[in-house]
A = this chain, B = another copy of it.
Amino acid sequence: MTDKKIIPMSDDIATPARRPLTLRDVSEASGVSEMTVSRVLRNRGDVSVATREKVLKAAKTLGYVPNKIAGALASSRVNLVAVIIPSMSNMVFPEVMTGISEVLDDTPLQPVVGVTNYLPEKEEEVLFEMLSWRPSGVIIAGLEHSDASRAMLQAAGVPVVEIMDVDGEPIDAVVGISHRRAGREMARAIVKSGYQNIGFLGTKMPLDHRARKRFEGFTEALAKEGIEVMDQEFYSGGSALAKGREMTEAMLKRSEDLDFLYYSNDMIGAGGLLYCLDAGINVPSDLGLAGFNGVELLDGLPRKLATMDSGRKEIGREAARIIAGRTDGSITESGQRIELTPKLEPGETLRRYR
């Protein structure tokens, strides 16, 4: 170091100096090389106790915060995991996140979230953005992606775990449940309980493939029993709880014979349930109800809504485990497939058959 840069000093004496600190500052303050500081700060390689302490003290006094940008570039190790989900305000994805965080907390990896709002173009954008940070892995909701997205994921050269859904062709690994099966099983349970005139209420989301698959499985299983969905309605926007209430009222008014309502998610199901209780409808003997997801919220309802747990937290955990294992080398294979089994929770809005 022969040349000293001219540093614009802060005019405020108390403020340390506006130039961001680097390894060099710490190295100069502690009288060792940058390399040694780096080793101390990363706990790597042999450094004598004396040196280590000297360095740590200097770093702390200066308030040094390592620059991961530089570190990542030099080591081509970026301990980030891109997590790409359709929505945050959905109750289900925060839970997936919780599962992911739980597992990643014990690793050097850190999740970074991107939200697509169920839009393929937005997904592409977010994915591109994320990949440009060269993450160690990608966890992405769903199996349906644009060609460009698939290409990017293929080319990224990092583990990719598609989550939530297993009905389709994964790019690499996949963790989820079969929504088609979930729909089928619910249909069977409903029929077994003796209901015949079934209505369906869902979200108006051509792009929510999982909801669509559940619906398909549902109608398919009903068809096997010779039953057809009697009435259906789809909503978009607004408070799901309120929508469930309104739609239920509307549907019951126009299709009086209905004896069962299947909701594509618990929130509108809860709204429907509240409406029925208000309206004095006899649940589940005159009218059965069921939702989907198994959200915690249901526990506080006056009557527990029948639902099917989608195991979101567990999905998050498993996905994170795969990424973590593949990153630290403890898993070498790729393409793992974990299908969880959605569990029917009959609650108190489904007649007990027999």
Contacts and interface: CB of A to CB of B under 8 A. Distances in A.
Interface stretch (A94-102, A181-189, A211-219, A328-336): A94-102
Contacts of A68: 132-134
Copies of this chain per assembly: 2
Nearest to A70: B73
A3 interface: no
Interface stretch (A108-116, A170-178, A195-203, A281-289): A108-116
A67 B129 CA distance: 10
A298 to B, nearest CB: 8
Given A68-B132, A239-B300, A300-B244, A101 B115 contact: yes
A75 to B, nearest CB: 10
A300 B243 contact: yes
A251 interface: no
Contacts of A302: 274, 277-278
By CB atoms of chain B within 10 A, which of A65, A115, A243 has the most?
Answer: A65
Interface of A: 15-16, 18, 20, 63, 65-70, 72-73, 78, 88-89, 94-95, 97-98, 101, 110, 112-113, 115, 128-129, 131-134, 151-152, 154-157, 238-245, 270-271, 274, 277-278, 296-302
